[in-house]
Amino acid sequence: MTTIEDLLQQPATVEERKTPILDESSKREIRRACLTAVAVPGYQVPFGSREMPVARGWGSGGLQITLAVVGRDDVVKVYDQGEDGGVNAANLRRLIRSAEPVTTTTDPREADVIQTRHRVPEDVLVDGQILVLQVPVPEPLRGVERDMTELRRMHAEADYAKMWVSLYEDIVRNGIITQTTGYPCLVGGRYVIATTPIPRWDVPPLHQARFLSLFGAGREKRIYAIPPHTDVEPLTFEDVPFQVEEVVEPCRCGLIQPDEEPGAYLVELPGQTGETVWACSDTDWCARRRLEAGLLGEDAIDALEVDL
């Protein structure tokens, strides 16, 4: 199955749908915007963003893309902050399943479409998979320029000087580049994009990826894409290497150790009494690894038994 072909396919027939969220002509319009985005990697394609049953800022852009691109019998994964069982992921998964003839999974390896808020799966995604990223702020240059007309000019002329100056000033003032998530990247050598607020840890997997990434910003009414096999270069200087968030303490189950492969994006869980433990943000990946290692805890079973 090829992802571009998926986008060109006819949608599920109306009879197969359950509780409609989007009408079919709207879905076609969104698929066309996705195709434009694929054709011009990194360019923010304006689209007639519809109002969704979730509020703007809650994944309405990602939801529109997912609803528009899923085909009959596709398998969908939805997760939020790396977690399949979180409230927002559970709600979106329920909505998608109620509206489209799809099944859902927590295992990204089984999924045709993965809708995510702020993480890229730790598993390596392959050809034919689509990663749909929910984007709150699609404009990478907003921090250095507020005027939208000027922003349009800067992108059109690939004039990213202000961005470079701000990165330089950051180093001069703070000694490091302080950008945390949503790190600006040059896509296909042409457009600078905001990598949503995914952590910097998740940026390298986007480079020359085998999968298609579609970024949906519902509130700001834009869609952009990183097609498969496209360069994604974080903006930095020759003598200032791009830094990701690293493992500084072992994961609580001991499977992730500092400076050992494979790493993972860990989140800090501060305890009541000041002690801190670290846990994998990608709960499904973590649970499978623990299962393999015979370290299955109760929370791992929970992660694998998310109500689908």
Partner 1 sequence: MGYAAAKGGFDAIRSAEELVRRHRLEARSSWLEIDQIIERLGYAVDRVMGEGALWDPESSAIAFRQAEGDVVEAAHLVRAYRSTLPRLGYAELVDADEIDVLRRIVPAFREPPGPQLLGRTPDYTGRLLERSPEDESRRQAALAAAEAGDAAAAALADDGRATDGSPTDADTAGSGLEPARVPGRLMDVLRSMDLLVDRRRDDDPAAADISRVPARPGAPRSARLSAMARAETGALVQLWYRNILGPDRNIHEVTLGEVRHGRLPVRAEHPHLGRPVTVGHVRVTEVEAIEDLDGNDEDRSRFDVGYGLCLGHNEKKAIAMANLDIALHRDLALGDDAGPLEQSVLMTTDGLDASGFLEHLKLPHYVTFRSMVERKRAMAPAPVEPEATATEAKAVGASSEVPVG
Q: Compute how many other C-beta atoms are within 10 angstroms of the C-beta atom of residue 277.
A: 15
Complex with partner 1: residue 175 or 294, whichever CB lies closer: 175
Contact 90, 307 (CB under 8 A): yes
Q: Alpha-carbon distance 161 to 150, whole Å?
A: 13
**Cα distances (Å, whole numbers) of residue 96 to 26, 33, 269:** 16, 20, 31
CB of 119 to partner 1, least distance (A): 6
Q: What is the DSSP letter of 288?
A: H
Q: Which is nearer to partner 1, 3 or 183 (CB)?
A: 183
**Which of 31, 77, 117, 289 lies at the binding interface for partner 1 (CB under 8 A)?**
117
Closest distance of CB 99 from partner 1, Å: 9
Q: Is 280 a catalytic residue?
A: yes
Q: Which residue has the tokens 């997760």?
A: 79
Question: Which of 60, 30, 45, 43 is CA-nearest to residue 223?
Answer: 45
Is 59 one of the annotated active-site residues of the chain? Answer: no
Which residues 62-101 are close enough to bind partner 1 by CB under 8 A? 80-91, 94
82 counts as catalytic: no
In this complex, which beta carbon is closest to partner 1, that of residue 2 or of residue 208?
208
Classify residue 221 by its DSSP letter: T
Give the interface segment with partner 1, choosing from 4-12, 42-50, 122-130, 159-167 (CB under 8 A).
42-50
* Residues numbered 154-213 forming contacts with partner 1, rule: CB under 8 A: 174-176, 178-181, 197-201, 203-204, 207
By CB under 8 A, tell whether 58 contacts partner 1: yes
Active site residue 251: yes
Residue among 3 and 195 whose Cβ is closer to partner 1 = 195
**Within 13 Å, how many C-alpha atoms sit on residue 16's CB side?**
13
**Interface with partner 1, residue 302, by CB under 8 A:** yes
Nearer residue to partner 1 within complex by CB, 239 or 273: 239
The alpha carbon dihedral of 246, 250, 255, 260 has a sign of: positive
Per-residue binding string, partner 1, 280-299, x by CB under 8 A, is: -x-x---------------x
* 185 belongs to the catalytic site: no
Residues 244-283 that bind partner 1 (CB under 8 A): 244-248, 258-259, 265-269, 281, 283
Residue 282 is which amino acid? D
Which tokens is 89 given?
Answer: 């992921």
| Choice among 34, 42, 59, 61 that is catalytic | 42
The least distance separating partner 1 from the CB of residue 95, rounded to whole angstroms, comes to: 11
The CA angle 139-145-147, to the nearest 5 degrees, is: 90
Examine residue 145 and tell whether it contacts partner 1 (CB under 8 A). Answer: no
Among candidate residues 34, 62, 216, 253, the one labeled active-site is 253
Would you count residue 138 as binding partner 1 (CB under 8 A)?
A: no
Cβ proximity to partner 1: between 36 and 88 the closer is: 88
- Rounded-to-integer distance, Cα 8 and Cα 34, Å: 10
Six-digit token string for 136 = 């709150």
Strand order of the sheet with strand 184-187?
A: 191-194, 184-187, 232-234
- Tell me which residues are annotated as active site: 42, 251, 253, 280, 286
